[in-house]
Structure 1
Amino acid sequence: MNKIDRRVIKSREAIKKAILELMTEKNFDSITIRDISERANVNRGTIYLHYLDKYDLLDKIIEEHINNLRELCHNASEMTFQEGNYVWFEYFAEHHLFFSTMLNTKSAAHFRSRFLDLVVEEYRVEVDTTKGTNQGLGDEVVLQFMGSAVVGTVEWWFKNGMPVPPRVIAEQTGILLDRNF
């Protein structure tokens, strides 16, 4: 495996941070590569060295976080919903700029959709509509309902400035998930 030069890593992180900061200030469509390069303190060519355009940049950032969340799910497969939620909410808090930007700006509908797809995909193995509280309901209805509840709760948490610590929100959402799965 080739080791990536620290300067490359530093440039990529500055570029990612720059676009997220700019998205909190103005609409994504108004952001230019020049805006990003100035904010990141890199040449425009450096951005094009790593990304095709601003859409590719945003897609790669979203993909990185979706993959990280998926990996956290796989590592938490033996945990309760509360424990697994705690891992997620800690990750959300650690990456506050990304998630608050993606869930609080009008230009972030694509991320919300991808996040909902991930939640539904990860909960699919938990759905059993042959018994219990969800008996007789459609699998897809239950999945969309629970997925939307989780995504909506995460949105609420960020929009309100993370009013409760990650552990508390994880415990409370975990209890609600345990009641319904």
Structure 2
Amino acid sequence: MTTQDTKEKNTEVALKKAFVKLVTAKTFRKMTIRDIATTAHISRGTFYLHYVDKYAMLAAYEDELIAGIEQIFADYTKVALKKSDQVTDNVFYHMFVYLNRHKRLVQTLYRIPESSVMSKMTAFITAEVARETITGESDQHGEGIPLEYARAILVQNISGIITQWFQKAQPESPREIFDIFMNSRVLSPIDLTALVQNEK
């Protein structure tokens, strides 16, 4: 890596830290390029060498996060949807590990109304799940459920758990949230309703 490459990488790190800090403190809408440059200790000119505006910056961070998830699905092709002691091959486990590693960025993106990261993530997971045959699980949990509806339920299950996970002040560990996800796969809506009512 050249000196210039190192400098650009350090600038990117500073920009991302500034982005996270400012969205938390001021919200994305009120954050300005001047704010970002000042917080990152760079000039506005240097900012524009990296991004056209803050919306391009937002899109870049979303795409970076989604690209990481895409790579995980490429590396770990076992989309296991039933409980197993083998978690090291499970793509969803590694997805939770990845999201936890980038927790601050994920939580920041979730705070931004203009962010489309959740819809991008949902679209990708939907496409991946569509490649899997989950008819067996559909038959297990309820006869007469068309496959496309079973897939939609699964994707909403994943999206809902991820959203709830990152809204917590003290989120569970990747293994804990993975276990919660896998346990949720064997619960019927009636079981889930009973759990909620018992907490009242």
Q: TM-score range by the shorter chain?
A: 0.7 to 0.9
Indicate whether 1:167 and 2:175 are aligned: yes
Give the fraction of aligned pairs with identical amino acids, expressed as a percent.
26
- In 2, Cα distance between the equivalents of 1:69 and 1:77? 12
Confirm or deny: 8 A CA contact 2:107 2:166 kept in the other structure.
yes
Query: Residues 40-95 of structure 1: CA distance to partner in whole angstroms, max 9, x if unpaired?
Result: 11111111101111111110111011011011011110363553222111111111
CA spacing shift, 1:109–1:51, aligned 2, 3 Å: closer
* Aligned residue-pair number: 179
Cα 1:87–1:108, aligned 2, differ >3 Å: closer, same or farther? farther
User: Partners of 1:167 and 1:33 in 2: how far apart?
Assistant: 38
Mark the CA change 1:176 to 1:45 in structure 2 (over 3 Å): closer, same or farther: same
Q: Which has the higher contact order (CA 8 A, sep 6+)?
A: 1
Cα 1:85–1:3 shift into 2, 3 Å: farther
- Name the CA shift for 1:99/1:73 in 2 (closer, same or farther; >3 Å): same
Question: What's the secondary structure of 1:28's corresponding residue?
Answer: coil
Once residues 127 and 22 of structure 1 are traced to their aligned partners in structure 2, the CA distance between those partners, rounded to angstroms, is 43
Residue pairs, 1:93-104, within 5 angstroms:
93-103=100-110
1:112 corresponds to: 118
2:109 partner amino acid: M
The CA RMSD measured in Å over matched residues stands at 2.7
**CA deviation after TM superposition for structure 1 residue 3, in Å:** 9.5
Check the 8 A contact 1:18/1:40 in 2, yes or no.
yes
More helix as a share of residues = 1
What is the one-letter code of the residue matched to 2:164?
W
Q: What is residue 126 of structure 1 aligned with on the other side?
A: 132
Distance of 2:150 and 2:168 partners within structure 1: 27
Report what 1:63 is aligned to.
Answer: 63
When normalised by structure 2's length, the TM-score is 0.77
State the distance in 2 between where 1:154 and 1:3 align: 39
Unaligned runs of 5+ in 1: none
Would you say 1:76 and 2:82 are equivalent positions?
A: no
State which drifts further: 75-84 or 142-151. Answer: 75-84
List alignment gaps of at least 5 residues for structure 2.
Answer: 82-86, 189-200
Tell whether the 8 Å contact from 1:85 to 1:174 is kept in structure 2 after alignment. Answer: no
Structure 1 CA distance, aligned partners of 2:63 and 2:121? 10
Amino acid at match of 2:103: H
Partners of 1:91 and 1:37 in 2: CA distance: 28
Structure-2 change in CA distance of 1:24 and 1:99 (3 Å): same
